[in-house]
Amino acid sequence: MAELATTLLLNALSAALALSLVALGLAIIYGFMGVINLAHGAFLTVGAYIAWVMPERLGISFWVALVLAPIIVGVIGAFIERVVIRHLYDRLLDTILATWGISLALVELVKLAFGTTSKSVSNPLSGSIDLGVTVYPAYRLFLIGFCIVILVGVFMFFKSTDVGVRLRAVIQDPDAASLQGLNKTRMYQYSFASGAALAGLGGAAIAPITTVNPTMGVTYLLESFFAVILGGTGALIAVVPGSIIVAGSANIMTFMISPILAQTIVFVFVIVAMIVRPQGIVPEAWHE
């Protein structure tokens, strides 16, 4: 019983943390720029394909691919911000349409380059580790630790570093920040690129435990939106409780009740939460 409970908790934790990583990217782009990024799932897909193509086709180690994926997707994000998004600031509906178009284009490019069949990323840590209470797959333990390190790193970046503080200044009052000599355009570009990079990193990190195909991003796009809406956009850290409810509780309820019912309960919960607490489920004290 303790063994099963631990396994289920770790399953839920790994799903929730992986979603937090992806949802954090979405929250940064929305929170800092007010852009609803429907290309987020496509960024994740590109990251996963990088984690596939490098070890399988180019002989580069998976671990190198895991480092390069966010960098490459971040550069793609910066480019897209420069040629498309920059011209659409403050036009919410247009950014939704434009990012959806970008998403379709990226997915079609992936299909042209690698075909439409599913790909497999071989598990770089294929064994299991004996934790005493239970034996758990090694890569999932790595994933849990890795996500925690990245999440803490990103939150520290925004709290304590110079660039982080400037970014937050731009969000709070773009015009005042401009008068202070902060380059709003540059900050927006950083935001979009780093949001995209997190999606790419998430895609690469989950690739070995799922399957890589051109449409894999859709589910994550949806779940990320739920996590962000649920947590609220007042504080970046809100994506973590949001993700725990969306992915973690669904995971546990799937075991206890049934998969379809679990998902329905989560959807209903999100809808009720949006009505009752449109500002998000986290306390206002967390807001920046």
Partner 1 sequence: MSSSGNEVLTVGANLPLSQGWEPYGNTQVRAAEIAIEEINDNGGLDGKEVELVVEDNQVDPQTARQMAERLVSEKNANVLMGPISSATRVATSSVLERLQVPSLYASQYEGPAADDYCNKWMFQLGDIPSQKIEPLIPWLIEKHGESFYLLGDDYSWPKQTNEAVKQAVDNNGGEVLEEEYVSLDTTDFTSIIPRIEQEDPDVLFMTVTGGGPAAIQNQMQEQGVRDQFAQVGLAHGQGVIQGASPEATEGVYSCHAYLEGIENDANTEFIEKYRNEHGEDALVNYFTGPAYNAIKLLEDAVDRSGGTSPDEIREGLQGASASSIMGETEIESDNQMTVGTFLGQVNSEQKYEILESFDPVSPSGSCGDI
* Contact predicate 41/49, CB 8 Å: no
Stretch that binds partner 1, among 94-102, 131-139, 170-178, 271-279 (CB under 8 A): 131-139
β-strand partners of 212: 119
In angstroms, what is the minimal distance from the CB of 138 to partner 1?
9
Q: Is 50 an interacting residue with respect to partner 1 (CB under 8 A)?
A: no
Fill in the DSSP letter of residue 119.
B
- Token digits for 76? 């793609």
Between CA 219 and CA 85 the distance in angstroms is 24
Q: Is 141 an interacting residue with respect to partner 1 (CB under 8 A)?
A: no
Q: Which of residues 246-265 bind partner 1 (CB under 8 A)?
A: 247, 251-252, 254-255, 258-260, 263
Between CA 24 and CA 196 the distance in angstroms is 10
Q: Is 106 an interacting residue with respect to partner 1 (CB under 8 A)?
A: no
Q: Is 20 an interacting residue with respect to partner 1 (CB under 8 A)?
A: no
Of 95 and 254, which has the nearer Cβ to partner 1? Answer: 254
Q: How far is CA 104 from CA 24, 39, 218, 222, in A?
A: 22, 8, 11, 15
Of 239 and 247, which has the nearer Cβ to partner 1? Answer: 247
In angstroms, what is the minimal distance from the CB of 255 to partner 1?
4
Stretch that binds partner 1, among 95-103, 173-181, 194-202, 208-216 (CB under 8 A): 208-216
10: helix, strand or coil: helix
* Cβ neighbourhood burial of 88 (10 Å; 0-12, 13-18, 19+): middle
Rule CB under 8 A: choose which of 82, 111, 168, 184 binds partner 1.
111
Q: Is 15 an interacting residue with respect to partner 1 (CB under 8 A)?
A: yes
The site for partner 1, by CB under 8 A, has a size of 39
Q: Given the DSSP bridges, would you call strands 135-137 and 128-130 parallel, antiparallel or unpaired?
A: antiparallel
Rule CB under 8 A: choose which of 11, 191, 194, 243 binds partner 1.
11
Stretch that binds partner 1, among 29-37, 133-141, 167-175, 273-281 (CB under 8 A): 133-141
Kindly calculate the radius of gyration of the chain based on its CA atoms and give it in whole angstroms. 19
Residue 283: φ, ψ to 5°: -65, 150
| Nearest residue to 192 (alpha-carbon basis) of 66, 70, 42, 26 | 26
Interaction site with partner 1 (CB under 8 A): 4, 7-8, 11-12, 14-15, 111, 116-120, 122-123, 128, 135, 137, 139-140, 209-216, 218-219, 247, 251-252, 254-255, 258-260, 263
